[in-house]
Amino acid sequence: MLDRTQAPEFHKIKEINIIRTNKATLSNQNTVYTLPLGEQELVRIEWLLEAGNFYNKLNGQAFFTLKMLQEGTKTRNSNQISADIDQYGAFLEVNNHFDQAEIILYCPTRYVSEVIPIVAEMLFEPTFPESELEILKRRQSQELQINFQKTTYLAGRAFRKALFGDKHPYGKSLEIEEIEQINTQVLREFYSNYIQNSVLEILVSGYFDDSVLKTLDTYFGKYTPKTTQKPSFEMIVPTHSESIFVEKTGSLQNTIRVGKHIINKHHPDYFKLAVTNTILGGYFGSRLMQNIREDKGYTYGIFSSLQNLRNTSFVGIGTDVKAEFTQNTLTEIYKEIEVLQNEKVSKEELERVKNYMAGSFASGITTAFSQMDLFKEIHLHQIGYGFYENYLETIEAITPEHILEMAQTHYQKQDLIEIVAGSK
């Protein structure tokens, strides 16, 4: 009988099972990456498009164009598209990111051949009905007005603007007056340039057979893909610290963001930095959490995370606190950074963090979908499978001296941008 008074025996993770995808091409050379895995009869199909915010000529252009693909085609209106997908127990997401856009379909395997044609119709025959566009614009304007009342939103947009400048797609934020400039002509222009007959990468994971590839080839393998020219933007990289306050009169809560540009996954020191960041604020037992949440009680949670975009990476420390605790919280953040820069982390704490990172990574890739998510990260950042196949060995080799070096190199206070949104 299980004795619940005794903790289970600890076992160190010795290997991580990463399953490599298979690669196929459609008749028109569009690439399909497949990962047949699992027993539940469910498949996920992702269409990746070079049509993210990076390609905007007008702010909001990519977002509204992608969202409007679901709002009407030559044979279906928005209600019919939704109903036709729902009747097969399928679910569709259309996501717009900084670097790329994606359409994601979750579908029972036996109905894939019925649902794929609907997605093809959305991509090849959208009508961009004006009435639906006006509804979407009104909804987004209302959502934006609500967001302007949130300190988390105000701090986030100020942080990106300070990091990248308001001329770069990574630093831009949508304004209400820009929403009013969106019309069907703007959407058709973006659609023609970056979506219509463009090069597609398709990712298929879950329970399926070769019939899915045949269906995909029927609907996405017959046109001649066109290449699109990627725009270029000058990225502003701050050379010194900056402190910015965004006032939200009457706010009882202030949002804090502290960060800077950082090395990306191609840098040989990236995993040393990742372990350092986890110690500082990357998990529930981190130093920032122990100090500012557990000891001081200033916040319910505080984090430090490494964010990787295609063209840059940055570190961000963030939390929400009562207005009167703002300065105390900032003081404690810098204090914990200074401790990391001046005192070697104990072997016990370093081992605990390594075990946490290994366990978190291993438990995060247990399904076909999560394995495909891992491949998508490897593929989009062009880092190769070895980056994660050597994960355990790489972090195991990290020493307290490495942590000291990373803290001293990458967390200098004079390089950090500080954002506070709320009331003084």
Domains of the chain: 22-220 (3.30.830.10), 242-422 (3.30.830.10)
Q: How far is CA 46 from its chain centroid?
A: 15
Q: What is the largest CA-CA distance in the chain?
A: 70
Main-chain dihedrals φ then ψ at residue 32, nearest 5 degrees: -125, 125
Q: Which helix (H) or strand (E) holds 389?
A: helix 386-389
Stated as kind and residue range, the H or E segment containing 314 is: strand 313-322
3-state secondary structure of 347: helix
C-alpha to C-alpha distance for 415 and 243, rounded to whole angstroms: 11
Cβ contact 43:207 at 8 Å: yes
Looking at residue 345, its amino acid is: V
d(CA 79, CA 98): 29
Residue in the structure block whose two tokens are 């949670």: 301
* Full pLDDT tens readout for the chain, 424 residues: 556 666 566 567 778 899 999 999 999 999 999 999 988 999 999 999 999 999 999 999 999 999 999 999 999 999 999 999 999 999 999 999 999 999 999 999 999 999 999 999 999 999 999 999 999 999 999 999 999 999 999 999 999 999 999 889 999 999 999 999 999 999 999 999 999 999 999 999 999 999 999 999 999 999 999 887 777 777 666 666 789 999 999 899 999 999 999 999 999 999 999 999 999 999 999 999 999 999 999 999 999 999 999 989 999 999 999 999 999 999 999 999 999 999 999 999 999 999 999 999 999 999 999 999 999 999 999 999 999 999 999 999 999 999 999 999 999 999 999 999 999 8
- 3-class DSSP state of 366: coil
**Angle, vertex CA 62, rays to CA 59 and CA 67, nearest 5:** 125
Radius of gyration of the chain (CA): 24
Q: How many CA atoms lie within 13 A of 10 on its CB side?
A: 5
What is the C-alpha separation between 423 and 350, in angstroms, rounded? 38
* Helix count and strand count (H, E) for the chain: 16, 11
Report the alpha-carbon distance of residue 48 to residue 163 in Å, rounded: 27
Residue 6 is predicted with a pLDDT of 66
Which residue has tokens 């990357």?
282
CA angle 312, 301, 325 (to 5 degrees): 100
Nearest in space to 46 (alpha carbons), one of 114, 103, 120: 103
pTM of the predicted protein model: 0.92
Q: Name the H helices within 246-308.
A: 270-277, 287-288
- In this structure, what DSSP letter does residue 148 have? T
Sheet containing 302-308: give its strands across: 242-247, 417-422, 253-261, 313-322, 302-308
